[in-house]
Chains A and B, each alone.
Chain A
Amino acid sequence: MNYAPASLTTGAVPMPDVEPRRRPLVRAQHVDKTYSNGTIALKNLNLDVYPHEFISLLGPSGCGKSTALRIFAGLGAYTSGMMDWPQSMHDATGKPEREVGFVFQEPTLMPWATVFDNVYLPHRLKDRRKSEVQDRVKEVLDLVGLGQFANAYPRELSGGMKMRVSVARALVTRPKLLLMDEPFAALDEITRNRLSNDLLDIWSKAKCTVMFVTHSVFESVFLSQRIVVMAARPGRIIGELTVDAPYPRTKEFRLSSEYSAYCREVSDLLDVAMRS
C-alpha cells in the first residue's frame, strides 16, 4: 500500500528498521468497544497509524469515530483487543508512555485562566514549573498565531481563536500523536478553511502525527494523506483511501480537478458506509 508521497518520508526519524515508515506509531488490533448500556460502538477495529502522517477518520454520525479516537488517547477502556505503541517506552506495569495531544470538539478552556495558563496546563499537571516552560508556551502560542493574546481570558476570544488556544494546549507537550475530534465543526466556513490551512502548516512544523476526525468529505480530502472511512452499527472500518497530493496544499488544490476526483471517490465510499 502506498502511504505517502516520497517527499514526506525524507524527514522521518531514524529507525533501525529497513522500512522506517512501515513501523507504526500506534497499532489497534481487533479492538472492540461495548458501552455499559450495550451499545456496540466498535467492532474489530484494526488500524495502524504511522509516524508523521496525517490521517482522517470519516464516517456518519454515531459510527464510533470519537470512541476510536478516545481509545487512541487512552481515555476510556476498550472491551477487547490490543492497543500497541511499538515505538514508545513502557513503564514497569507495561503501560506505554503515550505522547498524545487531544483537541476536543469544544475548546474546553478554563474560563478562569488566561490563555497562557490554559496552554501551560498540561505542563502544570506534569509538575513542570512555569519558568521552565514559558518559552515553550510562547512558542506554541506564536505557532497558532496568538502570541499577542497570552494574557487574554477565553471569553475575550472568538470561537476560532479559542480553538487555536486548544490546539496550542495540545501541542505544548510536543506530542507524537495529535488527536483532533471534529475540532472545527462548530466554526463558520471561512474560519474553518483558515484553520485547516494553518493546521497543515503547524503539522509540517511540529512534525507530529495527526489523527483527525471529521464528517466533512472536503475537509478530509484537503487535509489528509490517508482517509479511513467508517460505518455504523457496529462501528467498523469499511474502506481506506490515499490522497496522493503534495503539500503544501493551497487554494489551487481546493480548486483542482484532482481534488474533486478525490472528493467524489471519498463520497462514494461514504455512501457505501451509509448503506451498510
Chain B
Amino acid sequence: MTIQATASVDDRPEGFVAPKPRTSIVDVLDTLLPFAAGALFLGTWEFLVHYLKVSKFILPAPSAIVTTFVKEWPAIYVALKYTATITIGAFVTAVVTGIFFGVLLTSHKRIERTFWPYAVTMQVTPVVAIAPLVIIWVGLDRVWLSMLILAWMVAFFPMLSNTAVGMKSADHGLRNVFELYEASRWKRFRYLQLPSALPYILAGARISSGLSVIGAVVAEFVAGSGGSRGLAFMIVESGTLLNIPRMFSALLMLSIFGMSIWYVTATIQKILLQRWHESELKQEN
C-alpha cells in the first residue's frame, strides 16, 4: 500500500491574500448609533416644542434646559456635591459592610441560617416606609446621616447577597486541592474563596452603585425641606416653584452623575477581571 501525501489542497492562485475582516464604515456607524438616536430625539423634541408652541411650564425645549443649566450652575454644583456625598458615602459603606457581612454570613452554616431571614426582611421592606422613622430617630439636626443610612439600606443587599453567593462559588476541584494541602481557614479564604467571589462582588457593586443613587434620591424626597440640599430636593423645589427648566437641569445633572458612577464601577470591574474572567475576556476562539 502506498500513501501519497497531498502537497496542497489549496487551489487558490499563488500570492492570494485573504481579505482582511472589514473594520470600516459599518463599525463607525455602529458606535455612532446611540448618539444619532439621541440627536434625533432631541431634535424632534426641540422642533415639536417650537412648532406646537408648548409652554415652558409644561415642557421646556432642550435648548432652554441647557441655558438654564449654565445659568443655574452654581446652585446645581452645590446640590450635586450634597447628593454625591450621600451617594458615594452610602455606596462605599454598602460595599464595605456588604462584603464584611457576606463573608461573616457564609463563614458558618449556622450563622447563615440564623441571620439570612433578617437580611431578606431588610431587603423586602420598602425604604420609603421606614424613612420617616429613621429621620426621627437620627434627629432632624442630622438629616444627612439619616439620608446616608437610608441610601445605604437600599444599596447594601446586593452587596451582601452577591458576596455570600460568591464565597460559595469556589470550584469543587480547587477546594479539593486546598484540602489536600491542608490549607488553613485563612488561606482558603484568601487564596480561594475571595478570588472566586470577586466577579460576584464586583457585579454586586455595580448594582449597588445604581441603587445608592436611587436611595439618595428617595431619602431626599422623604426628608423634603427638612435639611436636604441635594439634586432631588432641587427637583422637588423647582416643581413647587413651577420652574420646569430648572427641574430638568437638576434631572440632567442627576442622570450625568448616575452615569459617571456606573461608568467608574464598570471600569474598575474591567480592570480587575480583564486578565482572567469570562465576562471581560476578549478570547479569540
Interface residues of A (CB under 8 A from B): 73-75, 100, 102, 104, 106, 108, 110-113, 121-122, 124-126, 153-155, 169
Contacts and interface: CB of A to CB of B under 8 A. Distances in A.
Nearest to A117: B191
Nearest to A100: B180
A104 B176 contact: yes
Contacts of A108: 171, 173-174, 176-177
29 contacts: A74-B180, A75-B179, A75-B180, A100-B180, A102-B176, A104-B173, A104-B176, A106-B173, A108-B174, A108-B176, A110-B191, A110-B195, A111-B277, A112-B195, A112-B198, A112-B277, A121-B177, A121-B181, A121-B191, A122-B181, A124-B187, A124-B191, A125-B178, A125-B183, A125-B191, A126-B181, A153-B275, A155-B281, A169-B177
Contacts of A74: 180
Interface string B152-183: 00000000000000000001011011111111
Contacts of A169: 177
A179 to B, nearest CB: 9
A169 B181 CA distance: 11
Contacts of B177: 102, 104, 108, 121, 169
Given A104-B173, A125-B187, A111 B276 contact: yes
B283 interface: yes
Among A75, A121, A125, max chain B CB count under 10 A is at A125
A211 to B, nearest CB: 14
B73 to A, nearest CB: 44
A75 B283 contact: no
Q: Chain B interface: which size bin?
A: 20 to 34
A155 B173 CA distance: 17
Contacts of A100: 180
Contacts of A102: 176-177, 180
B275 A112 contact: yes
A121 to B, nearest CB: 7
A155 B176 contact: no
A93 to B, nearest CB: 13
Contacts of B176: 75, 102, 104, 108
Nearest to B178: A125
Contacts of A111: 276-277
B170 to A, nearest CB: 10
A136 to B, nearest CB: 15
